[in-house]
Amino acid sequence: MSYQEEKFQRETSLSYREKSVIAAMITSFVIYGIFSVAVYQRYQAGSFDTSEVLLFWGRAILILAGVIIVFQILTQIALAIINTIVTREEEDPSFEDERDKLIELRGRRVSANVFAIGFLLAMALLAFGQPPTVMFVTLMAFMIGSDIVESLYTLYLYRRGF
């Protein structure tokens, strides 16, 4: 293999961290998609009784958080197994250098900022007389958006090289 071919392969191949971010993003899209469809079907059925709307959203958010955590862990385990089988090399997924930590912190900062904007918007909607459902939908949309923005920004930083 020539020097140019090796250089091209290094530049176009994904690191384990990039694969991990992509796998987490795909898992998030699937879980959030299923959750959104379920909530929308309940909304279409008219199941948002005002006396139970807070109970519904409290349960929905707790269930969603638990499901996301469990599926993210399972996805990372599956990724480690598949990556080891395919590449025939054992990478230590727990190894992080300063660059990895800094990229993760930058991604989390962007995510926190997006969520904070959504939280303030949701509270403003509630303060201007919108029903709690609108507030919770806004909060959930920004929660989902912050997760996706974090993944995309982290992936961008890894591809850029820092």
Q: Give me the number of domains the chain comprises.
A: 1
Q: Which amino acid is located at 134 in the chain?
A: V
pLDDT at 52: 78
pLDDT at 148: 92
Could you list the residue range(s) of the whole structural domain that residue 71 is in?
3-160
Is the entire prediction scored with pTM above 0.75? yes
pLDDT at 133: 83
**Rounded Cα distance, 150 and 104, in Å:** 9
pLDDT at 53: 80
Q: What residues in the chain have per-residue pLDDT under 50?
A: none
pLDDT at 117: 97
**Rounded Cα distance, 107 and 92, in Å:** 22
**Rounded Cα distance, 132 and 63, in Å:** 19
